[in-house]
Amino acid sequence: MLMLICCFADSITIVSDVLLSTLQKELSFKVQIFEKKVEEYKKWTLKLSNSVEYVKYQAEQAERQIKAEFERLHKALVAEEALCLNALSDDEGQKIATIQGKIDKVNEDIKALKALSETLKKEMSNDDLPLLKVRGGTK
């Protein structure tokens, strides 16, 4: 029979083979439990790591999708802007043409009125109308 003698702070403890064997078995059992827990923690760490990678993947996918959607919207807005600017340019051209037509009409009317005025002045200066001159002046 093997005996182990241990000293703890001024006291001596004697451990027998049976007790030592029992303690070794218990310690071995507890080590196995800790090893299992370490393996479980490793599995959890791997799962969490995979989860982190999946979350990153999802975020990248969402970012690409958002960018693509905004790019599509940007293109649509650029096209809409071009249509609006073209319509504005066409409208401006039509309004300018209408105004220019009215200006030309007014200029023609002014020329016609000037010509009429000149004609009337010439006719009034004729000696054939002395009566109108006298009568026009007495009023």
Instruction: Judge whether 115 lies within some domain.
Output: no
* Domain membership flag for residue 125: no
Number of domains in the chain: 1
Query: For residue 5, what are the contacts with CB-CB under 8 A and spacing of at least 6?
Result: 12, 13, 14, 15
21 in any annotated domain? yes
Q: How far is CA 132 from CA 70, 87, 115, 120, in A?
A: 83, 59, 21, 13
Residue 58 pairs with which residues in a beta bridge? Answer: none
**pLDDT tens-place string over residues 64-87:** 999 999 999 999 999 999 999 999
- Does residue 77 fall inside a structural domain? yes
pLDDT of res. 123:
82
What is the C-alpha end-to-end distance of the chain, expressed in Å?
163
Asked whether residue 124 is assigned to any structural domain, the reply reads: no
In a domain, 135, yes or no: no
Tokens of 55: 């979350």
Higher-confidence position of 6 and 78: 78
Residue span of the structural domain in which 32 resides: 3-99
In a domain, 136, yes or no: no
For residue 29, tell me if it sits in a domain: yes
Contact 71, 79 (CB under 8 A): no
